[in-house]
Structures are given as C-alpha cells and as structure tokens.
Structure 1
Amino acid sequence: MECVRRLERKLSPDEADVTLVTPFAYQLYLPLLPQVASGVLTPQSIAVSLRRSKKYRTRIIPGGAIGVDLKSKVCVIRTITDQIVNEPYDYIVLAPGSITRTFDIPGLTDHAFGMKTLAEAAYIRDHVISQLDLADASQDPVERASRLQFVVVGGGYAGTETAACLQRLTHAAVKRYPRLDPGLIKWHLIDIAPKLMPELGDKLGSSAQEILRRRGIEISLGVSIAKAGPEEVTFTDGRVIPTRTLIWTAGVVASPLIATLGAETVKGRLAVAPEMNLPGDDGVFALGDSAAVPDLAKGDGAMCPPTAQHALRQGRHVADNVIASLRGGPMRPYVHKDLGLVVDLGGTDAVSKPLGIELRGLPAQAVARGYHWSALRTNVAKTRVMTNWLLNAVAGDDFVRTGFQARKAARLKDFEYTDAYLTPEQVRAHVEGTSRQD
C-alpha cells in the first residue's frame, strides 16, 4: 500500500496505469493484531483502506497472485470468485508478505490457530471467549479444565504479545463467570529456543519473562509440540496438556508466490539487489517479508529482518525506484537504520529498546504505543486506535462474541490458502496455453 500510494502521488495518470492485486484492499498493521485478538482494538482500526486516498485511481483486482512468468511478463491471478486470469505487466512489485511457518507435526494444521490475518485475530477472540462460555455451562470437570487451558507456541514478538494480551482478556473476563474457578485458567507459552525474544538482550528478555510469570503464564523453553489433537497437545518433553486452544506463532516463511518465479532465493526469500530489483530481470522489484533485501546499515552480508518497520519504508523506496526506472533515472539503494524494538504486553506492562536504550514499564509502554500509533497511515486510523485505547482503559471490555465460533470450526489451514499456488512449470504452461487461445 505504501508503494501504491506513492506511485499515485508521483505519477501522472497518462504516465502509467497502476494495478493492485490483493484479496483485501487495505493495509494491515500486523504488530497490533494481538490487541485485536484481545479486544483492546477493533479490527477496522488497524486496517487502512486504500480507497481513502484522495488521489485514488488504482485498479484493484480482488484476488491473489498465484504465479508469475518472468519471461512473458505475466502475473497469474486467482480471484476471490476462484477465476484464474492473466495480467500482463511492464513493471511488477512483489509484496506478498509471509505465511505462518509450520512443520510436519501430526495434527498441527488441523487443530492449531494462526495469528497472521485480521480474520484469524477476530476468530481467536471469539474462540477464547466461547471456551469460557462452554466451561461455565459444562458439568464435566475434565471438559471444564481442558477448555480453560491455552497453549501458545512461539517465543518471538507475535507469540509473546499474543499470550500476554489474551491472558489479560481471560483474567478480566473470568470475573463475569462466578461459577468458574480463576485458578483453572492456565496459559502456556512454549518455544524451542533457549530464550524469549533474544533480540531484546538478556536483561529485557528476563524482564519480559518475569512479567509473564508474575501473571501466571507458564513459560517452557527448549520445548515444542510433538503432536496436536482436538482436545489435547503433546509437548516434546512428554507432557500432555488437555486443551481446546493451540495458537501457533512459531515464525514465518516467505509467500509461496516467490517459488513460482524460479529465481534465486535466500531462505525462501527472493534475492534482490540493494535497489530491491531482481538482477537480470527488467522491471521486477520485491519488498517486505518475501524479499531478501541487503541491510546496508548493518553490513557484513546482513539481510533486512521481516518487520513492519522495514516493509513500510521499503514500499515507499521501491515506488521511487520504479519511477526512476520508468523515467530513465538512477535508482537508489535502500538504507535504513533499525530504530529498535518494542513489545507491548498489555496494560502498563511493556519492554522496549528504542535506539539501544532499554526501557521497562510505563516508559516502555509509552514508547511502544507511540511508535505503533505514529506508524499508522492515516489520521482516521490514528484516531480510531487512540479512541479504542482510551475506551478500553476507562470502560474495559464487554467480552461479546460476534458469532465466528459457530458449529464448524476453522483452523490455521483454513485461513492462509497455501495450496492455491502454481509451480513454475504450471505457470509457464498456463500462460502459454492462454496465449495460444488468444
């Protein structure tokens, strides 16, 4: 979206036609998803519509790119109505993001929830509240105990913030359930790594762990999932946890779209030059989680991490380089010094490391929320988020389910459509086949 809006502002209507291929015509600010899941923010507050742009003239194709033929300069698209269409291009910017990284663990994709999309965050909130409702209505102590245990896998920012925010949700909600024993509600945060959020450093990482443990969250490091079932999860250390809620946030991988190009990759991410163009292919650019962009600020062969901080700036920078290429001017390499890390644990709890300065508590919370607030694209989004924060702080939550948790459950495999992509051979065959028909 950053790229599209910059192209709209800097290119005249007769200079280029801009087309955006996306299932959703909005920019999703992913770092605030845990607060949507916990009900602190409404889903609309972190989804910024492209159609709010005053210079909006982009043609939006509602669907997902499932393959790109670099030789023919054709993007193959599956629309939201499941129709497959070809879209030719002169310049293409690949920003498909990432998908949840999963492993060959029995039952994982059938029984776990992800935390990558707005729909997943809203669904998880409904699911967690429904577990309280069902536990409150149950006469079976075994069922009640399993519904009140929650497991989050992944000790990175997403997993830690998700566990922290949802634990606050259940802690506040259980006061409205007089038949439930608050002591039965148990949250487990596990990670195969030896530390939570190692990028924070030992001191801040230990502070975050202490905050979570003080709230009653059980943290297990060096542990992962051996198998997952509908009513229990088995850890690799042999423990069996009765639970109906498994949230999987153990990292991300580049979108499968990148594999359809048949180009060089770095750990699944498209290998691009510092200018974020694909060497040897005219008019191809990539950014964000799916691009291995050299981090010139760090040097030593480092790649930019898959964070919103870099993606937002890369979007604007790619737009400038596309315009420079179109007009025959020089392209500039992408350089951005990391501004630091912020972790919002809900309430007044947070740890932050802006520009290398370690902060805890309210100062860290002010920095975390201030950074997220300033990163939102429009004044409308900023107003909504600030209003949500203030309203939640003053009035709390009503713990209302919106109806996602109906008879048919949805899990990780139902949200990310990872089986929709074509192989490079299928892309070429499809493009050549449709060309002959034309």
Structure 2
Amino acid sequence: MSPPRVLIVGAGLAGYRAASALSRRLRDRAEVVLVNPTDFTLHLPLLLDVAAGNLDQSRVTVPLTSTLPDVRVVLGTVDRIDTGSRRVHYIDADQSAGRLAYDRLIVTVGSVSKVRPVSGVSPHSFGFHDLAEALHLRDHIRRQLYLAATSDNATERAARCTFVVAGAGHTGTEVAAAGQLISTAIARRYPRLREQPIRWILAEPAEQLLPDMRPRLSRTATRVLRRRGVDVRTQTSVGQVTTGGLRLTDGEFVPTRTIVWSFGVRPDPLINGLGPTVEQGRIRVDEYLAVPGHPEIYVCGDAAAVPDLTRPGKITPMSGRHAVRQGRLAARNVAASLGYGRRKPYRHHNRGVTVDLGGWQAAADPLGIPLSGIAAKAATRAYRLFTIPANRRAIVHDWLVGALLPRRRAPRYLAPVSMRPLNLTQEKR
C-alpha cells in the first residue's frame, strides 16, 4: 500500500510551517505535498523593509524546494476542493488542469486585500499585500516626487506631494511611517521641493491607531507619527474617490495622486464552498483546527475561524503570529490523526506585538513589557529575523550596511522566476 498523502494548499506563514513540521514528524511514513502558485514563500513581516530600501527583495523570498527537501512541491493555483471525492483541482504553471487526491488536507490559502466600498474608481489606488505591490508603491512615490519637481503648476505639485493611507491597522501605520521618511529623503534631492510640504494623511475609522492593539502602543505610534508631521485622523474614513483625489468622511476634499488602501484583509474566496462559515467568511474549525463533519480536513491561518480558548466566545484574529503557531499545530494534529503522537488544542497566549515606525523608531510590548525607540526597534527586528526560516545572515548584512552607509535609493528589481514544475501531469488515484 502507498503511504498516506497529506496535501497542503498554500505556502504562506501557516502553510510553510505546517509543511516543515510535517516533513520532520512523518518523514518516510507519509507523503507531504505542497501546492502553491510559486516556488517560494514571501515573508510579509519584512515587506516594508524592501519598499524602504533596507533589504533587497530576494531576502524576503524563501525558496520552497531547497528549504523543504522532503516535501513534494507542486506549482499550481487551486481552484476547487472536492470534499466528496477527496481531491483538489488546480491549474498548473502551463495553464493545464490537474488534480491531486489526499488522505489529509490542510488548507492555508491565507487572505487577500480588503477594500471598503467607496464611490468612484481611482487609478492612483494601491494595496500593500505582496512584493509586486510594495515595489510598485515605492516606485510610484519616487515618480510622483519627480513629476512634482518638474511641474510649474502649484496645485498639481501639491497633489503629487500628498499621500493618503486609508486604514491605520498594523500595515497602514507602518506604511505611513516608512513612507513619510522615504518621501522626505527623496524630496531633498530636488531643489524645487525643498520648500514644498510633503504631506502624509493617515485616516482610521476607529477611535485610535492600531485599534486591535493595546492603547499604549497606539499612543506611542501616534506620538511618533505626529512629531514627524504625519496628519493622523481617527474616526475618519474615505467617502468618495475621484481621479483628482478623495473626500474624507470629515468633509475635506484632498487632492492627491496616491491612495494606499490598508483596511486589513479578508479570507481567500476559495474557502467559500469548503464548509460552514462565520460572518467574516472564515471556515469554522474546532479547537484542534479540524473542520466539523470533515475530520480529514484542517484549516489554519487567515482562512480559519479558530475558537480562542483564552477568550470564550471569541475567535482568534487574522494575524501572522496566529498563522505561524496554527500551522505548526495543524502538522502535529494531522500526524496524530495518522497514529503518530497526540493531538493538542490551540491555545494562544499573547507574547506581545511589534510595530516598525521607520528609522530608529518602533513600538513593542514583548512579554507585556512596553518598549519604544531603539529598544523597541531592536525587539522588532529580532522577532522578524527569528520568524523567517532562511536568509538570516543576508538580512543582518543588509541591515548593518544600511546603518553604516547611506540608504540605497533604488534597489534593483528582480522579477520572481518560477522554477520548472515537477510532475504536473494529471494524476488519478
């Protein structure tokens, strides 16, 4: 008899950890297959360092085949999961249809950017969810400042030097903090912009920045950003978007050529037909990350509505910290379901969060200890370095070089190249 097959859909934070843990736990006792559109996984916590020029983009991409040698990697995009026949249907790198059978399935498809409905469509809107968007936003900021410096129209120049970030969660706050430093440094190179205000607006519908975090972190971030000149507006959102700018819900019309949407993320639409969902569109699982009625299917990361045993009646939020831990636990519980080890419920204990505010500034509370400034920056970088499974020496090298030498103005762009797919012919089992 052939060994059981454990199929993992998605190589994000949760999927990569699940594959790595399973390959160690099961070794030759099961076949571990990972389906992902690319042959690498992107380490999102360090994405802002790429946009800021602190890291080369190759540092935040972790190759799958070399770091997961005991895992079979299949390049493809899953478009349907047939729970009745226990098969996953996907489109491979050659746009051909394929399918894979499974004995155990771990779904870690993650999330996609969430944009709130507003009237109007703007060609100047950007997301910040993957490497391409980060590089595109960085180049767009450079382009807007160049065009502002060469324009004789004062109104146009002001609009090109105005940047709006909609949503002050973790990503939005970090983007506004880093963007303000980047744009100010670039503007200094243009004599015509030395007297031109570089305006950043951070709009958040909630009563404070970082609404899902402790108030102390929110106060630290607000203080740092306002000290730099960032226009922080709480209880304010975007009401209307036009080609010339946007109107905020406080009534002000802001002429701008840059709108960064950072209203969080929503689960990948693939999970819609997988099972019962909660109001946020996430698959409801039990405390062992298994889907009720389908004990062979496990869901973790942003796609899963995992009960929070530390807060009865609540579910764990969508965050990278939960994704990493749930991925490891899913591997443990899948191995237990095959007879190797004992399963364990997911119980999260808050070990603190970190927010990078650019330069030497950050806000953090590791193990509940509030930090700011250089101490918080060190904690932030240490945590993000610890969580990436590869490229650590190269990352430290780039950080040290960036601290000792002038910032690289334009990191070269390396388009990700997918490797030749392994056996991607249609498979029947």
Q: Cα gap change, 1:234/1:255 in structure 2, threshold over 3 Å: closer, same or farther?
A: same
State the secondary structure of the residue aligned to 2:365: strand
- Which of residues 57, 66, 90 in structure 1 aligns to 2:103? 90
Which letter maps to 1:335? R
**What pairs with 1:337-416 in structure 2 (closer than 5 Å)?**
337-378=349-390, 381-400=391-410, 402=412
Distance 1:265 1:56 in 2: 36
1:334 aligns with 2:349: no
Aligned to 1:58: 71
Q: Cα gap change, 1:96/1:109 in structure 2, threshold over 3 Å: closer, same or farther?
A: farther
1:7 aligns with 2:19: no
**What pairs with 1:223-242 in structure 2 (closer than 5 Å)?**
223-242=236-255
How far the C-alpha of 1:266 sits from its partner, in A, is 4.9
Aligned to 1:160: 173
Aligned to 2:55: 41
Deviation string, structure 1 residues 383-402 (Cα, Å, up to 9, x no partner):
12212222222223232275
State the secondary structure of the residue aligned to 2:247: strand
Deviation string, structure 1 residues 308-355 (Cα, Å, up to 9, x no partner):
112112111111111111227542212231211111101121111112
Does structure 1 retain, via aligned residues, the 8 Å contact 2:56–2:411?
no
Q: Cα gap change, 1:389/1:108 in structure 2, threshold over 3 Å: closer, same or farther?
A: farther
Aligned to 2:86: 73
Identity of aligned residues (%): 36
TM-score normalised by L of structure 1: 0.86
- Which of residues 169, 176, 184 in structure 2 aligns to 1:171? 184
Distance 1:333 1:226 in 2: 43
Deviation string, structure 1 residues 268-301 (Cα, Å, up to 9, x no partner):
11111111111211310011111111222x1312
Which letter maps to 2:308? D
Which letter maps to 1:33? L
Does structure 2 retain, via aligned residues, the 8 Å contact 1:232–1:241?
yes
- Which of residues 117, 127, 147 in structure 2 aligns to 1:134? 147
| Comparing 349-358 and 263-272, the one that deviates more | 263-272
How far the C-alpha of 1:110 sits from its partner, in A, is 5.3
Aligned to 1:412: none
Distance 1:124 1:311 in 2: 26
Residue ranges of structure 2 left out of the alignment (5+ in a row) = 1-15, 415-425
How far the C-alpha of 1:181 sits from its partner, in A, is 3.0
Aligned to 1:23: 37
Does structure 2 retain, via aligned residues, the 8 Å contact 1:171–1:182?
no
1:186 aligns with 2:218: no
How far the C-alpha of 1:85 sits from its partner, in A, is 2.7
Aligned to 2:262: 249
Deviation string, structure 1 residues 32-82 (Cα, Å, up to 9, x no partner):
2222222222222122112222x6143322222222121121212233444
Q: Cα gap change, 1:135/1:278 in structure 2, threshold over 3 Å: closer, same or farther?
A: same
Distance 2:172 2:364 in 1: 16
Provide the alpha-carbon RMSD of the alignment: 2.3
- Which of residues 303, 307, 316 in structure 2 aligns to 1:304? 316
Deviation string, structure 1 residues 195-251 (Cα, Å, up to 9, x no partner):
101344333322211110111110111111122233312212221111111100111
Does structure 2 retain, via aligned residues, the 8 Å contact 1:20–1:59?
yes
Residue ranges of structure 1 left out of the alignment (5+ in a row) = 405-433
Which letter maps to 1:269? R
Distance 1:141 1:34 in 2: 31
Does structure 2 retain, via aligned residues, the 8 Å contact 1:2–1:312?
yes
Distance 2:225 2:201 in 1: 10
Distance 1:163 1:63 in 2: 34
Give the paired residue count: 403
Distance 1:75 1:263 in 2: 18
Q: Cα gap change, 1:137/1:109 in structure 2, threshold over 3 Å: closer, same or farther?
A: closer
Q: Cα gap change, 1:34/1:293 in structure 2, threshold over 3 Å: closer, same or farther?
A: same
Does structure 2 retain, via aligned residues, the 8 Å contact 1:174–1:182?
no
Does structure 2 retain, via aligned residues, the 8 Å contact 1:265–1:271?
yes
State the secondary structure of the residue aligned to 1:339: coil
Aligned to 2:13: none
Does structure 1 retain, via aligned residues, the 8 Å contact 2:115–2:262?
no
